[in-house]
Amino acid sequence: MKFHGTTILAVRHKGKVVVAGDGQVTLNHIIIKHTAKKVRRIYNDKIIVGFAGATADAMNLSERLEKKLERYNGNLTRSAVELARDWRTDKYLRRLEAIMIAVDEKNMFVISGNGDVIEPDGGVMGIGSGGASAQAAATALIEHADMNAADIVREAMKIAGSLCVFTNDAVTIEEL
């Protein structure tokens, strides 16, 4: 799946996990909103999710993940697998056009409608149009700079925004 219009970045570094998303919403090649919130906390503020794709679809998936978390007592791994299974096999859900990152204190997953639940190597993951740029920048900053996770995310999102026309500098950041 390829989605343009969003950059979501998750970084686990020095005992913290931080997720950020830009605020730009586009309709074709027109910017229609600058301050959307694409990153939010769910399940008693213990899980952070960030999404790329169609907003209504992403919100639907976020709500479904939260229901899975309630059912499985906050177990993000089990909830992510069950959501991905439903997403892939349910006729209605298969049409949803979104991808999400979900993190808790121990886990980080990318969840997609293809049935993917991917845990990254190295504690850095980016999705959306600027995701690869943000991920590359964050990886370099972890290796070559003495920064905390929040500062790495801020700088990496700034770099992604300078490269991706679908990413702006109105960044929402959540930290666990």
Contact 106, 120 (CB under 8 A): no
Contact 88, 115 (CB under 8 A): yes
CA distances to 79, 88, 89, 93, 167 from 130, in Å: 27, 25, 29, 25, 7
Is 77 known to be catalytic?
Answer: no
Helix (H/G/I), strand (E/B), else coil: 136 = helix
Instruction: Name the active-site residue from 6, 7, 167, 172.
Output: 6
Active site residues: 6
